[in-house]
Structures are given as structure tokens and as C-alpha cells.
Amino acid sequence: MAHFIDRRLNGKNKSSVNRQRFIRRNKAQIKKSVSDAITDRSVTDVDTGEQIVIPKRDLSEPFFHQGHGGIRERVHPGNDQFQRGDKIERPPSGQEGQGSGEGDASDSGEGKDEFSFEISRDEYLDLLFEDLELPNLEKKEVSNIEEREIVRAGYSSVGLPNNINIIRSLRKSQARRIAMSGSKRKELRVLEQRLSELQPFGDDKETEIVQLKNDIESLKEQIAKVPFIDDFDLQFNNYISQPCPSSQAVMFCLMDVSGSMDQATKDIAKRFYILLYLFLSRNYKKIEVVYIRHHTQAKEVDEHEFFYSQETGGTIVSSALKLMHTIQQSRYPAHQWNVYAAQASDGDNWADDTPLCHKLLEENILPNVRYFSYIEITNRAHQSLWDAYEKLTEKRPEFAIKHIKEIADIYPVFRELFGKQQAF
């Protein structure tokens, strides 16, 4: 099998137009490759690009060429098999391969050449999520519109009267008055000291005393002319408008870590959570993730402990739902955050706890979330938890449940959960 690998550098975007034209033309084959690749990729490189392989037969285009009819003469150098006048049989129909002629064609005549090229992370995600949308977004129709907020930004010499900063204005006024009258006040003190020294001499120093009094009066008048406050002194609080995300999202990840959840099941759940995070991050500028693991008790943990810790004992799902509700109410109020949640389990739960789970979801959690998805990862028959959750789907459109048996089911199930809905 031969491969044609596109290694051309896209310097200065010289081939970007042709590249996008090629992607549009072969979109169906590329999307199929992307859909197939999501189930085979390792967890750590889900957010990178992808190598796409397209069979050469899917790249063929119409072209003009000479037909097989008519009388033609050809010279074949090195011919040692035919003589003039010999008839050469036409190759049987359908036996012309599309290979390179060097043994690439298969026994059936079908060529096996392939074209391979790399797509970027953005191109990969665009194709991956092209037909998907966030459900129940009627309350956040302007979630992608950038809002602006007013924040303090220092001081300005111009502004509205109600924004005057009195303290800074008085400080500047005092500094101006000191600068403008400081030398005159110093001179005034010197003259006043000289006058006090001459006054005991009376008439002997009358002329000089009169002159000193005149100079002192002139300086006092000059000092008095310096205004207490001037327009130049006024300082205003300055405010500017800066962009801010109009909406923010929090993603709650809930998972059973009891003894029945093996590592393979957790890996399936992890791939689903990564898809959900990538999808949400394309719709919100700010997104936070909260990991809640549970067996008989629930605990908020970091990502590593969430996916790789192993516990023994039974399962009480309501403990995780209670903790999620507590965290959501205290840190992520519904009027400020778009709340999403995904719960992964193998379906095990104490029978007495299942009705409580139903009640917690219906009364406390679902009224505060945009979307809550439950995926059950098991090859066994469904148990009481699935039955209770299934009843909720009939009443709550923001709640959905899906069944995953193997890794190959992850992406199809994800597309079912977030597929575009028909307009009402």
C-alpha cells in the first residue's frame, strides 16, 4: 500500500485557500475519519489535531483522455515480443488498477494508494462539533455576545461633577498654592522680622519703616490673590468600560469509584468528560470543572484522584448529588453560572437510595442546571437507578440518559446528547 503524505509548509498562508477548498470538497470523507479517530485516540491528545487518510479513489476527478477506439500506431522501445502486424489484446474491462504501476494494485484490480494530511486542532474540533449545539439555550440567547462592565481606572483632570475626588483635589490645590506663594511667604517673613527690629528706633528709621510696611502690604495682597482652589486642581475618579464574558459555565463531573468500577470503565467515562469539556469550552470563555467521586460517601477531588482512585464497598449515589447541590448553591449560583453536569456509573446503587436520587434531581438539582446527562457504562441489564432516571427524562427536557457498552459508543452517544434540535 502506498501513501501520499502532504508535507508542504503553509508559509504565510499561501496555500490556506486551497487547503480550505480541499477540506470542503472532501468533507464527507474527512468527517468520517474524524468520527472514527475519536474512539482510537489516547486521552492525553484529544485536544490536538488529527492525521486524516483519504483513499485515492475518493479524490478522483473527471478528466479528458483518449478513448480506446480508432486506429493508433505506437512505438514500444525494446519490444521483443511482438512483430509488425501482430494483434494486441485489449485488457479486460475493470482490470485497470489505480495504483502507481509498481505493484500497488490489488488482485482485484482496485488501487490502494491513499492521501494523508494533517488538520489543525481548530479544524479538528470544527469538524468534530459541527452539527452539535448546547441544549436548552433559550435563556441564554446572547451568551456569545460580549458584555462590558465599568471599572475604576485611576484619575482624570476632566469629568462629571459627581465624580470629583475631594481629597486628591485639595492635595493638588495645596501643592499649587505652596508652589505659587512659597517664595513670597518666605520674603514676607524676612520683611516682618526686619520691621520688628526697626520699630524700637521710632522716628530715626521712619522712612525705612514706611517702605517696609508698604512692601509687606504688597506681598500680602499678592499672596491673597492666589485662589484657594482652581479648575486646574480638580481631580475626577476615572472609569472605563472593559469587555467581560457575558456568561460563564461550570461543569460538574460525578463518578462512582466503588469496587465495581474498574479502570477500563473509568477510561470510557474520562473520554466522555473530555469531549464534554472541549465542547463547552467552545461556547463559553470561562469554564470551571468540579470533580466529585463517590462510593458510600462523596468527596470533591482533583482530576487525578477522580479518575485513578479505587475504593471498595457499596455505592450510594445520593451522596454525590447532595454534595453537588451544596457546592452549586454556595459557589455557582444559577443566576450567574450556566451549570452542566455529567454523571458516569455502572448502574449499581443501594435500592433504598434510588428514590432519594430521583427526589434530589427533580427538586434540587435540575431546576438549577442547563443540562444533566447520565451515562451508564455496563454490559449488564439495567438496574433500579436507570429505571428511576428514565422516568425523569419524560418530565424534564434538561435531563438525558444514555447507555455505553464500549469505547466505540462514546462519540455516537455524545452526538445524540448534543445533536441540533429542530426549531420550535
Q: pLDDT (tens digit, 9 = 90+) per residue, 237-263?
A: 988 877 665 567 889 999 988 877 777
pLDDT (0 to 100) of residue 292: 93
Other beta carbons less than 10 A from residue 293's beta carbon: 24
Contact present, 99 and 113 (Cβ < 8 Å): yes
* Residue 387 Ramachandran class (φ > 0 left, ψ -120 to 50 alpha, else beta): alpha
Task: Give bridge partners of residue 342 from the DSSP assignment.
Answer: 253, 373
Q: Which whole number is the average pLDDT over 150-166?
A: 84
pLDDT (0 to 100) of residue 98: 44
Q: Which whole number is the average pLDDT over 149-157?
A: 81
Which helix (H) or strand (E) segment holds residue 182: the answer is helix 166-198
Q: Which whole number is the average pLDDT over 176-186?
A: 85
Res. 231 pLDDT band, cuts 50 70 90: confident
What does the angle CA 253 – CA 254 – CA 255 come to, to the nearest 5 degrees? 120
**Cα→Cα distances 88→91, 95, 419, Å:** 9, 16, 59
Q: What percent of the chain has pLDDT over 70?
A: 68
82 vs 227, more confident? 227
Pick one of 3.40.605.10, 3.30.70.260, 3.40.50.410, 3.30.470.20 as the CATH number of 247-418.
3.40.50.410
Q: For residue 175, is pLDDT > 60? A: yes
Which residue type is seen at 149?
A: E
Q: For residue 416, is pLDDT > 50? A: yes
Q: For residue 110, is pLDDT > 50? A: no
Per-residue pLDDT reduced to its tens digit, 45-91 = 555 666 777 666 555 656 666 666 667 777 667 667 777 777 777 76
Q: For residue 174, is pLDDT > 70? A: yes
pLDDT (0 to 100) of residue 211: 85
pLDDT (0 to 100) of residue 40: 57
pLDDT (0 to 100) of residue 318: 92
Contact present, 228 and 170 (Cβ < 8 Å): no
Kindly state the DSSP code that residue 39 receives in the 8-state scheme. Answer: T
pLDDT (0 to 100) of residue 69: 65
User: Which residue, among 321, 415, 423, 418, has the nearest Cα to 368 in the 3D structure?
Assistant: 321
Q: Which whole number is the average pLDDT over 140-168?
A: 73
pLDDT (0 to 100) of residue 17: 66
User: Which residue, among 188, 60, 180, 172, has the nearest Cα to 113 in the 3D structure?
Assistant: 60
Q: Which whole number is the average pLDDT over 260-278?
A: 80
pLDDT (0 to 100) of residue 137: 43
pLDDT (0 to 100) of residue 60: 60
pLDDT (0 to 100) of residue 320: 92
pLDDT (0 to 100) of residue 198: 80
Q: Which whole number is the average pLDDT over 139-164?
A: 69
| Cα–Cα distance for residue pair 388/321, rounded to 1 Å | 14
User: Which residue, among 46, 20, 43, 18, has the nearest Cα to 34 in the 3D structure?
Assistant: 46
Taking the CA atoms of residue 323, residue 324, residue 329 and residue 334 in that order, the dihedral angle to the nearest 10 degrees is -170
Q: What percent of the chain has pLDDT over 90?
A: 12
pLDDT (0 to 100) of residue 412: 81
Domain residues of the chain, as ranges?
1-62+102-128, 161-238, 247-418
Q: For residue 337, is pLDDT > 80? A: yes
User: Which residue, among 91, 37, 44, has the nearest Cα to 68 in the 3D structure?
Assistant: 91
Res. 215 pLDDT band, cuts 50 70 90: confident
pLDDT (0 to 100) of residue 143: 41
Mean pLDDT over the full length of the chain:
76
Per-residue pLDDT reduced to its tens digit, 391-409 = 888 888 889 899 988 877 8
